[in-house]
Structure 1
C-alpha cells in the first residue's frame, strides 16, 4: 500500500452488491484497501447494513454493522434485526423517502452515511474522507423505472459530506474503469468501456491521447441501463427455484380451484426480502395457503426458507450456478439446507433463453452510447470489459459480434473502477473528469 506520508487520493466504487476503496499515491501506485474478516483479507466490502437493538442501562440502543459483518450479524440472528442490502438501487427513487428502523426514520442519505461509517471503521485510518482528493463513482444511469439523477446526486453529496468529503469529485463508473485501462495504451485510441455491476450496466466512449507524457481524455458519449448481474440471478430463481416452491401451483377455496398468487415470489428479487416476509403477514398467508394447496409440499419448503433465513445461502447457490454456466454448457444446481432440497440441471442454452430480453436491452444501450458519441462500431479500437457479468457468454458474444474478438480486453472484475477513480485523484485537474466538471 502507498505510504501514509505520500499525497494520497481515494477512489470509492460504491456498488449495488459490493463496494471497493482504492488508494493511489503521486507515483501512480495504487492498491485496493483490504478488510480483515474471518481470517481473510477482503478487497470487497459487501454493500449491506444490519441494524439491531442492544440493551444499555434501562433502555435500548440501536447498533449497526456493514459489509461482511452485517451478513454475519444477520445470519447469527441472536436478536431482532433489520437487514438492508443493495440499497443503492433506491438512490434515484422519488417514491423512496424513508424507512423506519426500530424507533428511527432513515432517509437514503442516512443509510449511505451509516454504511460509509462502518466501512471507514473497518478500513482504519487509511480512509480519510476529508482528504483533498476523494473521487467517487456513480452510474451513468441510476437503477429504477424513472430515476431522478439530480435527486440521487443530492443524496450522494449529503451522505459523503457527513463523512467529511465535502469537495469530492463524482465520476462516471465506466470513466474510472477507462482511466485505469488507458495506462496500458501505447498510442491514441477511441475506447468503449462496458461496466457490468450488480444493478446497472454502464457504457462510455472515450478518446484517449498523450501529449508531453500526460494522458488526456475526451468523453464522447455515455449510456446506462438498470439491468445487470442481479437481474440474471433472478431469471434463474424464477425459472428453476420458484416453480419448486409452489409457483404455478393451485389451491382450493370453497368450491373453486385458484392459482397461488405470484406476488409472493417477487420477494426472491432480493434475498433479504425473504426475511422481511416474517413481519409483513406474508408468512402467515403462506401457511394458510399450504393448508388448502393441492400440493402443499412446495409451499412448505418456501415457508422453511423464510423461517430459517435461508435466502442468503440460496442466492449463493444461484450465483454459483450462473458462474458455472460461463464456462460449462450445463451445470447441476443444488441447494440443500434445513430439510429443503432443490436440485436441477441447467443448460446454458436455457439460461440464455431466459436472459435474451435483458441482453437485447443491453445491446440497445451499447448502441445508444455509440450514437451519443457519434462513433461507428468500426471506429472503436478497443473494448474494455469489466464486471462479473462480462464473463457471461451471451454478453461477451454481443461484443464479439459487434467489434470482433481481437478488440476485446478485460481486467479485474471488482477493482478496476476503484483503481481508476483513485488514479484520477492524482491527475492534473481531476475536476475535469467529473460529471458536470465538479
Structure 2
C-alpha cells in the first residue's frame, strides 16, 4: 500500500524498513524492479479512500501511528512502474465509490496501453463510513446494496472495454487519411439505476481490453460477485483446510454463474519470517513482535468488528466485552489460547501473526506445497519491511520453490492475463464477453 503502515503496524520502526519512503517514486520503481527480477507475477497495491472507524472515540491514533494515513493514490504511479518494467503485472485497487465508471475505464485502458497489457484491477466497495462521507454521502450504503452498485459499475466498464470498439476499428491509414472506421466504433447508451453513459469509449482497444480482475470480498455477497466477475480472489484463510472448503464452495458458485470453475484462481495472503535455521527464524519473529504495536492492530481490527475496542485495556479479557461483532472471533481466540481467557492483547497479537509463516526456506516450501494442494493458486506476499521482506523471499525461498517446481524460472510471453491464463482477453463465458459486438448497428437483410 502506498503508505507507511499497511498491515504489520509498527514494523516501519525497524532500522532497515523503508516504508517511510512511500512518497518517493524511486522507492516504488526500485521495488517493482526487485519484484520483476524475482519473477513475481504482480506488484499489488491495496488502497483506501477514508479512515477506519474511531479508536478511543477519535481518529488521532491513525495519524499518530501512520495507520494508512498519509495514503497516496497508487494509480498515479502505475505508469512509472509500467515504464520501468517489462513483465511485472501492476494491480491497483479502486473502489466503485471513488471514480465514475466512464472516467475509470478510460484511465485503466490508458494504463493497459502504456504497460503493453499488464494492468489489473482489484474491485472494492469501500466499507468505511468516512470514505462515504468523503464523497458526499450522509451514510454508508448497506453491504449487499454496495455489491448491487458494483454490478452496475462493472457492467458499464465492460460495455466500454469490450463493446464500444471493434478490434479493427482503428485504421490510421496515412494514404487514405482515414483514421478510424466510424461503423466499428459504438456508443453504449447505458441507462441504469446509478449511471447514464452514452459513450463511446474514448480509448481504442488495449492489449487486454478488460484488465485482469481481482476481488477480495469474503462475505456471501462478495463471493457471489467474485464468482460472476473475478479472475483472481484474495483470501485470508487461517489454514489450508479452511482454504480448501472456501475454494471448493466458491468454485461451485463460479459454475452456477455459467463460468468454468478454474476461471477463478485463489491467492492466499501470507507473510514470512525466514531463517537459515528454525532457531534463527524464531528469533527474528520474536524481534519483529517486539516492534509491532498492539494498539494499532486493535485500531485496525475495529473496522472489521464494528466496535471501538480502544476504551478497553489491552489486558481486558475478551469475554468481558459485550459486542456481537466480537463473538465471531471468540472461538478462534479460545482455540489459539486454550489455557486461559484470551485478552484484547491476545487478539492484537494473533491478528498480527495471522498468515505468518516462520521457518527455513525448506520448511516454508513444505508449507506452501500444503497450501497449493488445498487449491491455492498463488501467494500474496505480505511485507513487514520494504524492500527487505521481498529481497529475503527472492534470495532464499524462491530458489527452493523453483527446485521443487512450485515457482516459475522465467516469465511467459505476452500480457499479464496471457502469462496467468494463456489468453489475452476474457473467455467467452465471462459476462463482459456478452458485449462483444452487442452495439454494432443491425443491418437489415
TM-score under structure 1 length normalisation: 0.28
More strand by share: 1
